[in-house]
Amino acid sequence: MGKSHPPKPSKYFLPVHPSAIILIMTVDATPLIWVDSPKALQDLAEDLSTYAQVAVDTESNSLYAYQEQVCLIQFSTPSADYLVDPLRLRDLSALGPLFASERIEKIFHAAEYDLICLKRDFGFTFRNIFDTMHAARILGRSEVGLANLLKQEFGLQLEKHYQRADWSQRPLPPAMLEYARHDTHFLIPLRQRLATALQQKGLWELAREDFARLTEVSPPNTDLSRGPDWNLAQRYNLTPQQMAVLAALYAYRDEQARQANLPHFKILSNEVLLELARTLPQNPRDLSRLGLLNAKQRARFQEGLLETIRAALTAPPPPRPRNGIPDEAVLARLEHLRQWRKQLGRHLGVESDIILPRDLMERIARENPTRLEDLAQIMQSTPWRFRRFGTEILRVLQEANFALAHP
């Protein structure tokens, strides 16, 4: 167990120097500490290592950059709130032992996105986490946003004005600093409330196995320059040549976004590109009649879009992906499992994926186990669910297979 520190005295310093540690007064007199130097980061890592529980959150710039990155990492302990500036600190490896520690519980809210970002940008590994949003879902809560949970549990009104703010700006204004610290400041007491409720309802083991599964989440192999999905061709009745144009338009937008260092949607939306591929305008008059572009977009992109469309009219369409659609038997078993977990979830008052996560359900449908021993192997990462639902899952599979054999 980590030690419990008494609250530190509150101090106030103006952020006058970029490498300074900033302590900002808050209502409850907990200091807010800005960390942007190697020495301050090492001090932080040593302090965090003395606790049994640490709250964590991140802020990224996905709405403002071509390639998003983590722009702020927040930590809270019972004694202080910390804001780490990864834009100034090149090496965050001092935090690696904390995230990988089995002894120290890291408390997140909606952990999956934070874990993906931290793994992607810094290569961290994770053990022993608690996700307050997922805990609330397991408990059957209908409103699981952090602001809603804090209002339910503590009567607090959390300001969410800066959810869509640009966290890459420096210096961050005081209001954004306060907003950022509130995302972790209350997570430890919230965790205690939710953990108690999970234990009282006999759901603690279920939560722990889901938290362990979350630590294994991997950053997607996202290629920002990738072209459109061939599913669009069937959905919107696109010809192969229109798909060639759409792929070329995606590539054009990607290059413009890369040069401007902006996300794709701030250049041109998917809907605009799709309509251009469907209508194939050939000149400025055709393009203007569509009414798809505002004046600024016409000035910047009209010529490039028309050139891209004309060139793509004689280009080969993008290659189709291999058919990954499961066979009829797998789809039938999947549908039986889906209906079973939906009905059981409704009965227990939880979302259906709490009963059986989608990835696990799909694997069971594919592998079609016929014995409990085989199912146990598939569900080895979810032993609570296997003990609770294993026999029922085999029964559902048997019913699905019988229906397939006797149409």
Q: Does domain 231-312 have CATH number 3.40.225.10?
A: no
CA-to-CA distance for 258 and 229, rounded, in angstroms?
21
CA-to-CA distance for 220 and 94, rounded, in angstroms?
25
* 231-312 and 32-214 share a CATH fold: no
Measured in residues, the chain has a length of 407
In the chain, domain spans = 32-214, 231-312, 328-405
54: helix, coil or strand? strand
Closest by CA to 57, choosing from 44, 66, 70, is: 70
Q: What is the pTM of this model?
A: 0.86
CA of 345: how far to CAs of 115, 120, 172, 334, 348, in Å? 27, 33, 44, 16, 5
Closest by CA to 301, choosing from 258, 268, 264, 265, is: 268
CATH architecture entry for 32-214: 2-Layer Sandwich (3.30)
Task: Give me the sheet containing 53-60, strands edge to edge.
Answer: 32-35, 81-84, 70-76, 53-60, 105-108, 129-131
Q: Which CATH number fits domain 328-405: 3.40.50.2000, 1.20.210.10, 1.10.150.80, 2.60.40.10?
A: 1.10.150.80
What stretch of H or E contains 85? Answer: none
| pLDDT per residue of the chain (407 residues) written in tens, 0 to 9 | 343 333 333 322 223 333 333 333 343 578 999 999 999 999 999 999 999 999 999 999 999 999 999 999 999 999 999 999 999 998 999 999 999 999 999 999 999 999 999 999 999 999 999 999 999 999 999 999 999 999 999 999 887 788 889 999 999 999 999 999 999 999 999 999 999 999 999 999 999 999 999 999 998 776 667 778 878 878 888 999 999 999 999 999 999 999 999 999 999 999 999 999 999 999 999 999 999 999 999 999 999 999 999 999 999 988 887 765 678 999 999 999 999 999 999 999 999 999 999 999 999 999 999 999 999 999 999 999 999 999 999 999 999 999 998 87
